[in-house]
Structures are given as structure tokens and as C-alpha cells.
Chains A and B, each alone.
Chain A
Amino acid sequence: MKSKLILIIIFTFLIFCFLIFYKGLDKPNIYTPKTNIEKNVPIFKAKDFYSNTYINSKNIFIEENYYIVNVWASWCAPCRKEHPLLMKLSKNKTIKLIGLNYRDNLKNAKKFINELGNPYTQILIDKDGTLAVEFGAYGVPETFLIDRNKKIIRKFVGPINKIIIEEIKTIIK
């Protein structure tokens, strides 16, 4: 009798632990580095994806608008995953998406865009990866949210998901 009671108590406790850990996994746990928050958009010159001419950063972030800078590459598997979400986001009028094509082969990159669609108002070529570094990116994909004062207010490491999209939407409202 006594051992049965112990058994029941142990099992209930273990199931409780399981449920807690299971719920814990659901919590969004994407770590946002604090260092680049509220940093100004860097000043740079970069080649345009289509016209292959140099553009000054002053001529890119001109409007009184929210911007998203998305670092991507055709060889990056997670970029492919997040692309449909970017396509959806691009329908939002209050925000403009700038693509940063990171260390990529131009042919492959164009194929990628033709295949999955172009959510970006402008794509810049970052052949050697230095431009991404200017923004403070570690790798691909990475996404920066820039506010009306041309400050980087949020940085998302890794592919964006629905939770991040919601967060972006509440910020730009």
C-alpha cells in the first residue's frame, strides 16, 4: 500500500516536470544581442543588384519610413524558409525591405529571387561580406529593423518567424 502511494506520487511529480519542460520549450527563446541596439545606420556605398551601379546609403534610407534590412544568400537554407514571410511583410505599406545579398553568386541569387519572388524594394550586393559586418551581422540570415530616425532598433539573428513578424508589426504601428 505504502509503496503504491510512493509510486503514484513519483509518477505524478514526473509528469508534472514533463509538462513544465514541455511548456518551457514553447517559450520564444531567441536571443537578441543588446550591443547594436539604437545604433545609427552605417554610411556606405554599395552596388545595386539589378543596375550594377553604386548607390550611396544616403539615397537609400530617404523617406520617413521604417526599413528592414535583411541579410540573405541563395546558398543559405534558412533564408529559403523565411522568404515567404518576407513576401507577406512586403505587402505592408509602412515598411520597406532592403535586401543585402551576402557573399553570393549573382546568377544563383537571381535564380533564387525569380523562383521565390522579390519582397525587397532594393537589393544591394555584398560580395565580400563587409557590408553585413558594418551592420553588425554575424551571418545569414539576419534582419535589422530601422526606425524613422535611421537608427537600428532591433536585430534578429537567424531566420525570422511569425512571432518576430508580429513584433515588427506592433513596433511600426
Chain B
Amino acid sequence: MLANQVGYYSLIAGLLFSVYLCVVSIKDFNNTNRNVSPNLITLSFLQLTFVVISFLSLILSFINSDFSNETVFNNSHTTKPLFYKISGTWGNHEGSLMLWLLVLTLFIFLFLIKSREQPKKYRILTLLFQQLIIIGFFLFVLMTSNPFNYLFPIPLEGLGLNPILQDPALAIHPPLLYLGYVGSSIIFSASLAAVAQNYISKEWGQHIKKWVLISWIFLTIGIMLGSIWAYYELGWGGFWFWDPVENVSLMPWLTLTALLHCILVLERRGVLTTWVVILSITTFTLSMCGTFLVRSGILNSVHTFANDPTRGIFILIFLFTLIFLSLGVFFLFHKDNNKDSNNFFWLSKESSILVNNWFMMYFLSVVLIGTVYPIFLDVISAEKISVGPPFYQKLIAPFLAPFLLFMALGLKLKWIKSKIENKNSLIIFLIISVILTFFILKNITTDLFFYTILISAAFFLFFSTSKELFLKKFNNISQAVAHFGFSLLILSILFNGILSSEITTNIKVGERYNYNNEEIFFEKIEEKNESNFNSIIGYFKITNDKGKVVELNPEIRVYNQPIIITSEADIKTTLLEDKFLVMNIVKGNEYFNIRYQVKPFMLWIWISVLILCLGGLMSIPKKKYEK
């Protein structure tokens, strides 16, 4: 109860600090002092403190199961384990907005501390733009989604957290993803401030690069965790479904990746300024757009918490205000004054990064159209369609092969003017890739020609990045690691897609089923009771033709609060493949419906994403982009 009050008033205090910060920074902006007034940093710290207090009191209410708080009542339950009580704090609409606020205020504070060598006016403008976003979120929380609503009479028991959200990967997925999303807000504010001050330069590129890298790493890991959750928990047997909610996290990733590369060019050569600004704006806009699409209830998914239309309208207006503001700043102030240095030879690192940008823009537009078009169609013609994986695969796959080839070549190019060296080794790599692919795929796929091209390109990239990583003297190890990780990721995804196989059948205890040289034996079932669910565990033995036995124990869980039945897949992971088994109850029958899948290289998808992030992490401490 007390925590409720403290939390609520801290929130209001945080908002007041925002307004006060704006006033002080405008005053300071016109001041002739050379440095930013230390008051601003203190104020920013105090604002952060209040948001932290507010957030902690919400966590405390969740830990104490204080059901006089409406958010706790709606999303928690006394029988829930402590870990999920805490993670339940951000597993709902109100709490997740609190997390947004927390990260927003944290980042602007860190930005102020870390940008001491930057020009004063630029720092103050960044603070102002960021406070504008923060005020927007404060108002959103206080007006439409107050996490501290009081309930009376106090309910005895809460409604519980959706059991599919009770998963360790998902407990840390939102915070990491938000660090990425909100990190892009700093890039957004900083680039607007830099445009207004005409400060888009090599120095600025060097300073903002760290923020881009940090957001990019968090966003990448956040997306990966979401994907891990979908794979292990949802039991659909895949890691990416082109679901609109997944797409909205992928879109900012694509622009952020393009931005990351542009920043490297900016830092080194002072060109591509327009690209940098536009990509900074789009990345944050897409993050906000994602929040809007996911939270407003326009899309239906596990992430849709808010079905209150006023919330949707608020984010929508807020989102478009930010878009118009940023476009206004861009068109009024942006001058592309680097005409002289824009001269680079067609075969150079700069142009290869431009090519990369255009590919990213193409992938982005495919994902954007696939995600948004159904909404447009629904509104204009009341026709309901859903865009599925085939759309994305058809449109992306043909462009993937040239993209990978360009990437492999681009890595070898030098700045300004370059020529392709070691032509022989490249040709040898290409030939090896094609032959290797052909022999691997010969007996597997029907569409041999298409897949040979695609996978040869992936192998080609893989070979050239491996060579870079293992054979060369490292003059740019972080780049080599990141690109090696990426090529491994693409290879794993492609092979996973082509080589996966699955079977669905009904089976009862004691029965055997033969499938692809393997025998599935349903041994027995057992029942088990936990505090927040009861479960039925199936014992399966899978024997392959060499007599090797793998035991799989999928589970059917009946959660008590709220009553929801979920299927927990059992997955046995080895270096080369995952065996995936999930079972369902067939009503009024002794049979169980099982789905058995063999998915090669699943582990490598996660490992390669981690390698990719490691590459990013390694380039943070570096002062300047080399080579």
C-alpha cells in the first residue's frame, strides 16, 4: 500500500523534473558559459533516482503480492515462484512502460556524463530532445496506464501471469530488447541535435559510435532471446515465424545494422551524413512504431496487453509528433556539405557499404510491407489477410545470394579506391563452395538450382570470413569476428530450413511408430504436481538405425492461475541437431497427438548470434576504425 503511494508520487516527481530540466537547459543554452551547467547533470540524476524508486516500489508490490495494486492483481498470484513474481513486473503493459522510462532516464544520464568533450549546445539539445520523449512517456504512463491504480475492496488473490510468459528467457528478454530500443532514442536525440548544430562530422561519428554499438548488441541479444523463447516455450518447433511482433523487432535491427556501418564510414571519411541522419531517425521511429503496433491491439499476439483504444491513440499521436518533429529538423537544418569528399571510386569500401545499405533497405521494405499491409487492407477494404512465411521467403531469398556475395567481396575492399586482390583465391573459394553445396544438396532438395546458388553464396562468405579470421594477421579482429558470426548464422539458418523434417501422428502408451530410420516408442506417462501447475509427462524412447537411444519427456502442463493448458516440448540438443518432441491431449481418447521434429544446427544459430554480438562488443573500446 505504502509502496503504491511512493511509486505514484515518484512518477509525478519524475515528470516535474523533466519539465524543470527543459526550462533549465533552455536557459543554459543561451548562457555564454563554455560548459554545461553541472545543475543539469544533478537534475538528470535526481530524475533517474525517482524513476528507480518508482520502479522498485512496483517490484516490491509484486514481491509482496499486494493486490490492492491493480497491475499486481491483474498479473500476479500468491503461488507464483518469486523469480516470476519479479519478472511479472515488466511482463505486462504498465510495468513494461515503467521499464521504458527507466531506461530512457538512465541513458540520458549516462549520455550527459560520457559526453563531456562534446560541444555544449549539442549536449543540451540532445538532452532537450530526449526529455521530450521522456515527457511523452511520463504522460502516457500517468494518463492511460498508471501502474499504481488502487483497488478497493482489496482482492484476496490475483489473476495470475499468463503461463507462457513464465519462462527464464522471457524474463530477461524485455529488459534487453528495451535497452536496444531505447538506446536508439539516444541516437535519435543526438543526431537531431547534431543536425541542428550542423555537427554531423567525423568527431561526432566517433562519439556516437559507442551508443550505436551498445544498442545494436542489446537489440540483437534481445531478439535472440525472444526467438529462443518462441522455440523452447511456444512449442511450434521453429525459431522465427515472421509473426508481426517478431517483425517489428527485426525492422529497427535492419536499420540499426545499416546505421552501424554508415557510422564507421562517417567516422573515417566524413561522408554518408544524410544516410546517418535518416537511419538514426528511422531506427527510433521503427522502435516506437513497434511499440505502437504491439501495444495498441492492432495486432493480436501474446504481446498485446493493452486493448484500451485511448492508449493506442496516445502512442499514435506521440509517434507522429516525433516523426514530424524529426523531419522538420532534418529539412530545415540538414546540409550535405561534404560534396568534395563524396568522391569515391565505385570499387571501394564506401560503395560496398552503400550497397549493403540498399540491401538492408530492401529487406526492411519487404518486412515493413508484410507487417503493415494487412492493417491497411483491413481498414480500406475490410478484407482480412495474413501474410505468412512464404511471402518473406519468396521475396528475401533471391536477394540473399547477391547480398552475401557482395558482402564477401566488400570486406576485402579498401577506402576511396580499391581493386580486388587475390583474385585466384576468390575464384577457388567460389568453385569449392559451389561443388560442396552441390554434393550436399544433391539428394535432399527438389529445387536444386535455386538452393545451390543460395547456399554456395553463404559458403563463399563463410570461407572468406573464416580466412579473414583464422589466417590473416588481425588488423581488424572485431570486424572479422562479427562477419564470421554472421556468415555462420546464415549457413545455420539455411541448413536448418532445408534439412529439418517433422512428423505428426497420434500414438498411445506402449505403441511404436517408425519414421525415417527411427523408431518412436511411447513408454509410459506420469503425473506430477507443482505449486503453480500440474503436469502429465510422457516418456518416449527414440532409437535410430544404429541402435542409439534418445529419451524425450514432453510435458502437458495445466496451470492453475489462470487455468491454461500448455504443451512443453522436450528438446534434446546436440552439436549437430536438435530432436524436438511435443505432445497434446486428444479429447476423450487414450491417444496423444505428438509432433516429432529433427532440426539440424539449431545450437549454431544461437552460437553464431553470440559470436556476432561478441564482434560488436570487441569494437566498443576501440578508439578508431582501422584499416
Q: List the interface of chain A (C-beta within 8 A of B).
A: 3, 7, 10-11, 14, 18, 20-27, 29-31, 73-77, 103, 105, 108, 129, 133, 138-140, 158
Contacts and interface: CB of A to CB of B under 8 A. Distances in A.
Contacts of B375: 20-21, 24
B585 interface: no
A27 B313 contact: no
9 contacts: A14-B324, A21-B298, A22-B316, A25-B316, A27-B298, A29-B307, A30-B307, A75-B151, A76-B155
B439 interface: no
A31 B300 contact: yes
Contact of B316 (A10, A18, A158): A18
Contacts of B152: 75
Query: Most chain-A Cβ atoms within 10 A of its Cβ — which of B152, B563, B564?
Result: B563
Nearest to B382: A27
Nearest to A128: B157
Give me the 9 closest cross-chain CB pairs, A-B, nearest first: A138-B562, A25-B312, A139-B159, A23-B379, A75-B155, A75-B153, A29-B297, A24-B298, A108-B153
B307 A20 contact: no
B153 A29 contact: no
B12 interface: no
A25 B296 CA distance: 7
Given A14-B324, A25-B316, A29-B298, A103 B155 contact: yes
B292 interface: yes
A14 B324 CA distance: 9
A43 B312 CA distance: 41
B575 interface: no
B515 to A, nearest CB: 29
B316 A77 contact: no
Contacts of A30: 307
Given A21-B292, A29-B298, A103 B156 contact: yes
Interface string B298-322: 1010000001010011001000100
A21 to B, nearest CB: 5
Nearest to A111: B153
B146 to A, nearest CB: 12
Contacts of B391: none
B233 interface: no
Contact of A18 (B149, B298, B320, B327): B320
Given A14-B324, A31-B300, A20 B562 contact: no
Contacts of B316: 18, 21-22, 25
Contacts of A26: 309
Chain B contact patch, size range: 20 to 34
Given A29-B300, A75-B154, A105-B153, A14 B320 contact: yes
Contacts of B507: none
A108 B151 CA distance: 13
A20 B331 contact: no
B161 to A, nearest CB: 12
A27 B375 CA distance: 10
Query: Most chain-B Cβ atoms within 10 A of its Cβ — which of A14, A25, A74, A103?
Result: A25
Contact of B376 (A11, A20, A140): A20
Contacts of B153: 74-75, 105, 108
A27 B297 CA distance: 10
Interface string B58-89: 00000000000010000000000000000000
Nearest to A76: B155
A109 to B, nearest CB: 10
B380 interface: yes
Contacts of A29: 297-298, 300, 307
Contacts of A139: 159, 562
B313 A7 contact: no
B502 interface: no
A129 B159 CA distance: 11
Nearest to B379: A23
A153 B412 CA distance: 65
Given A21-B298, A138-B563, 19 more contacts: A10-B327, A11-B324, A18-B316, A21-B375, A22-B316, A25-B296, A25-B297, A25-B298, A25-B309, A25-B316, A27-B298, A29-B298, A29-B307, A31-B300, A75-B151, A103-B156, A103-B157, A138-B159, A158-B307
Contact of B563 (A3, A31, A108, A133): A133
Interface in B245-296: 292, 296
A29 B564 CA distance: 21
Contacts of A138: 159, 562-564
Contacts of A75: 151-155
A126 B331 CA distance: 63
Interface string B323-363: 11001000100000000000000000000000000000000
B511 interface: no
Interface string B139-170: 00000000001011111110100000000000
A3 B330 CA distance: 12
B378 A14 contact: no
B120 to A, nearest CB: 31
Nearest to B159: A139
Nearest to B298: A24
A52 to B, nearest CB: 20
A3 B327 CA distance: 13
Nearest to A74: B153
A26 B379 CA distance: 9
Contacts of B331: 3, 7
A148 B378 CA distance: 35
Nearest to A109: B153
Contacts of A24: 298, 375, 378-379
A108 B297 CA distance: 33
Contacts of B156: 103
Contacts of B155: 73, 75-76, 103
A23 B382 CA distance: 11
A139 B375 CA distance: 30
A20 B300 CA distance: 17
Nearest to B74: A139
A113 B151 CA distance: 18
A97 to B, nearest CB: 23
B153 to A, nearest CB: 5
Nearest to A19: B379
A5 to B, nearest CB: 12
